[in-house]
């Protein structure tokens, strides 16, 4: 309602810099999946 879909960003800066790769990987995978789902939902609706 207030923002266009291209104005939304997934921000991974939530303590990932201080963690080991094996701790970070699942979080990054979740963020990628969340971004994919949001794009699928809102980019289709926007066109």
pTM: predicted TM-score of the whole model, two decimal places: 0.66
Domain count of the fold of the chain: 1
Domain limits at 35?
5-46
- Measured distance CA(47)–CA(42) in Å, rounded: 9
Predicted pLDDT at 45: 57
Taking only the tens place, the pLDDT of each residue in 8-47 is 788 877 677 888 989 889 988 998 999 899 888 887 655 5
- Measured distance CA(34)–CA(32) in Å, rounded: 5
- Measured distance CA(18)–CA(40) in Å, rounded: 31
Tokens, residue 38 = 């949001």
């Amino acid at each position: 309602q207030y923002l266009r879909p291209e104005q939304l960003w997934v921000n991974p800066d939530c303590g990932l810099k201080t963690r080991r790769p094996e701790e970070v990987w699942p979080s990054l995978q979740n963020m990628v999946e969340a971004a994919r789902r949001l794009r699928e939902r809102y980019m289709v609706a926007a066109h």
